[in-house]
Amino acid sequence: MATALITGSARGIGAAIALRLAKDGYNIALNDISEAMFEDNDIMDKIKAEGVECEKFICDVSSYAQVEETVKAVKARFGTIDVLVNNAGITRDGLMARMSDMVVAVNQKSVFNMSKFVGSVMMRQKSGKIINLASVAGLYGNPGQINYSATKAAIVGMTKTVAKELGSRGITCNAVAPGFIKTPMTDKLTDAQKQAMINQIAMKRYGEVDEIAGVVSFLASKDASYVTG
């Protein structure tokens, strides 16, 4: 049975993707930064109820060394890594002058780290699908989010490059750029911020995590075998 590794998958979009891929028949390797992220959380039970295997791997995906060891552990546990979903991400909005590099470390380095080590596994398999979660903020920019927007734009660039580097090995790489999705991350915004975002959206509503999961499901499927970059 094929295996999918989803970073930042204890909750939100990552958890929805993990559950959707479990429904598609994948064994699931969950990942998040701490055990606390899985407390009061039934995502593992929901996944196992789909009749697939599931295990969580605690790892700071911004750490090169931790990712290397985690990928080895996932490969040892499941035998293959057939789908990688780089979903982990954070926001720390504010003025550029007051920002640290934390968002860059988590959002951008994690995609490089995971793509490098899982990509090596996939190259030996001569198959695999890498799906990165970017954002419309990386395409259009967003005031107060120079850190977040920069990382998501970088993910688009990395996606196009990885697609060209690994395509000859039977590996596809694509990015999904969600708009305003209802998650614990966006719940932290003020009502005024939420309404300002909704006013810019053609559908005049939040997106749902299951709608993003559906797109990832397609990109992970055989139907998307000629879709890359």
Q: How far apart are CA 144 and CA 149, in angstroms?
A: 9
Active-site annotation holder among 64, 140, 148, 206: 148
Q: 55: phi > 0 → left, psi -120 to 50 → alpha, else beta; which?
A: beta
* DSSP SS3 for 156: helix
Q: Which of 77-98 are b and which e, b meaning 16 or more Cβ less than 10 Å from the residue's Cβ? A: ebebbbbbbbbbbbbebeeeee
Q: Is 206 a catalytic residue?
A: no
User: Hey, is 40 helix, strand or coil?
Assistant: coil
Residue 24 has, within 13 A of its CA and on its CB side, a CA count of: 24
What residues are annotated to the active site?
148
